[in-house]
Structure 1
Amino acid sequence: MLATHSHLRLLAPLAGLLILGGCSSAPPRQPDNICSIFEEKKSWYDAALDMNERWGTPVYVPMAIIYQESGFRHDARPPMRWFLGIIPYGRASSAYGYSQAKTTTWTDYENETGNGWSSREDFADAIDFVGWYTHKTQRTNGVSKWDARSQYLAYHEGWGGYRNGSYRRKAWLMRVADKVDQRSRRYAAQYNQCKDDLKRGGWFF
């Protein structure tokens, strides 16, 4: 019995860490307010600031893109496709995680940044990926990092597709890009009101 109690005492802190880790992957409770998101998940704010310092993209642009792509769900992926409505035959693409990055593009990100241990399920890696992508969009297509609408169109269509104007044939995509732009503007207004009160720090949330 003494040995059992000792084991339990040793496992208790680990269990607490696992619980906290599980909480960290849950979507924020108030995803429509960037201040509430960063207050709830302080490590996300650290990651957003690191992204901004590294790539120069304002924090609210990647946040709006990630909201649109995954709803801040760490394991988001495209829906399964079904043959005759009963036989699954794969997903529409390899997009996965917070940023819905495709496998090939994520590999390019890892190779170019040296972030070989990255994970699409890790928020810090995901927002850094979006920062990297927006930085390349500015260099490749001349799109401002503050222009959430155009950045999203390039994010969705790829740099070549954006350059060729493929999005112009997709009215639905342009409507989605407008939504991303509106959310980015709303996040920006909110962030300007609370950024002086937000503080760095936080391992799990």
Structure 2
Amino acid sequence: MNDINLREIEHNALEVSNLLFEKAGYNFRVSKLTIADLDWCRAMSRQQPKNKWIPWEFMGSLFYHKNSFNFCFKLLDLSNKPAAACMCQYSKVINAEQDYLDVEMIQNFAIKTSVLDGNTFRFALYTLIFFMRDARCHGIRVMSPINSKVADYYINKYNFVDILGSKEILYRDSKSLSAWLRVDVESRKSLIVSEQLLSDNENNDVNECLED
């Protein structure tokens, strides 16, 4: 992996994300997905309507994969239960000098009304972009969206590109995602990061990731 330490990158991505969420005053945090969390996701998935069911039951192999990056969002007043979760994999294309961060699963379980409703993918992108930048990925791919409506949402709302024409793989490159992150943070009052946060030497990771 060319001296890339994925576990260190994972730790930093979660830490910087939580710094942003804390400064914004949100009542949730992001953390590494544990096996207990995955079991919760499986249980919650069984309770979802059929049109919202996605196969958490079969994600054990990805959970234990050495290149996985799995995290969940937990509300501060329900910190033992994932309100939403995301499972990803760092992937290198064979015979090509290109690496990607593949989003395999993402779902909001709506255990309680919160700011995550309608924003799960946006907040997940924050964490994904921090990981993507440190891992030097060329971009993020969303693999096999649950249905065409969800795929269209990623395409129209977040400018992902349907690279196969079948909506099976959606892609957005690292440069445009990094630019989107800065614009999104700065354009939303509730997520504006103070000048002190952006310039503080102790928070260089945040500053670097928000730079174009």
Given the two structures, how large is their TM-score scaled by the length of structure 1? 0.28
Higher relative contact order (CA 8 A, sep 6+): 1
In proportion to residue count, which structure has more helix? 1
